[in-house]
Each structure stands twice: as structure tokens, then as C-alpha cells.
Amino acid sequence: MDVPFNAALDTDADGYANADDNCPDDPNPDQIDSDGDGIGDACDVVPDFCESALPICPGTYVGATTGATTDGSSTCSQLETGNRDVWYSYKPVASGSVTIDTCGSLFSSTISIHTGCPGTTANQIICNDFCCQGNSCVTFGVTAGVVY
């Protein structure tokens, strides 16, 4: 069987030919690549487990829970009822106070901060599941060099 090469092939039907698509197997019509890694946000790997948390620095991040599972626990109600979780880690260079929020998200969210893996109620520092119209925010003290 011969399969002809088609330079304009658009496997995911998002309006971008595979050769120009930063996520050729999943529709990504806006071609957003928030982390600048050359892979569209629709194809970015979800940081699904505490042990493989995505390290972050101060800034704004875009993400989703698509494809994630539930493997952590906290005192916040949403995490206790089987909702999917994703994991990020933060190692501050200076001690002080940090605020993290999901305000403006298009889905209800919960933020839970832990000092180790797996994330459990025993190593939880703080959590919040309602702060700004169904989204979450937390402010907590950090120590330079400690991973949260």
C-alpha cells in the first residue's frame, strides 16, 4: 500500500498543517506554548505525581488537570473527594512570604502546599479550595532552600 506524502496534512484538524503545528496530534487552534518549550500547551505533559513535580519559579503558569489522576490528600474538601491533582515544586532562594493563586482559572481549583512526597495531611502546610470565585489562593511563609 502506498501512502502519499501530504505536506498540508492536518491530523488534529485544528487548522495548522502538521509541519507547522506545535501539537500535531491534539487540537490546539490557538497554538499557545506558555512555557516556551516548542510543544503546545495541549500536548504538555501533566505533572501528575508529587515525586515528579514540575519545578517552578515566581511567575504565571498555565496548566490543566486533563489526564491527571488523584494521588495526594489534604484537608481541603475537593482533594478528599477524588478530584484530579497536578504537582509543582517551588524552592525559594530567599526566606519570606509567598502567595499562590488560581484566580481567573476557568475551572474550580484547590491549592494544597506540602513539605514532602507523597503529599498528605501530615506534611500539609496550608490549603484552600475557595478564595476568588471558585478558585483558590494561599499565602504562607517559606525558608530559603526548602522545597515546597
**What is the per-residue pLDDT across 50-60, written as a single tens digit (0 to 9) for each?**
988 989 999 88
Question: Do 57 and 76 share a domain, yes or no?
Answer: yes
Question: Do 25 and 4 share a domain, yes or no?
Answer: yes
At 3, the pLDDT band (50, 70, 90 cuts) reads: very low
**pLDDT tens digit string along 87-129?**
999 999 999 999 999 998 887 888 999 999 999 999 999 999 8
Question: Do 57 and 110 share a domain, yes or no?
Answer: yes
Whole-number percent of the chain with pLDDT over 90:
33
Query: Which of helix, strand or coil describes residue 126?
Result: strand
**Could you list the residue range(s) of the whole structural domain that residue 25 is in?**
1-44
Select from 10, 29, 44 the last residue of a domain. Answer: 44
Q: Cβ of 134: how many Cβ atoms within 10 Å?
A: 14
| 88 within 8 A of 55, measured Cβ to Cβ | yes
pTM value?
0.68
Listed residue (73, 83, 59) closest to 127, CA to CA: 73
Task: Report the chain's mean pLDDT, rounded to a whole number.
Answer: 84
**Looking at residue 83, what is its pLDDT?**
75
Question: Do 31 and 54 share a domain, yes or no?
Answer: no
Whole-number percent of the chain with pLDDT over 70:
89
Question: Do 67 and 127 share a domain, yes or no?
Answer: yes
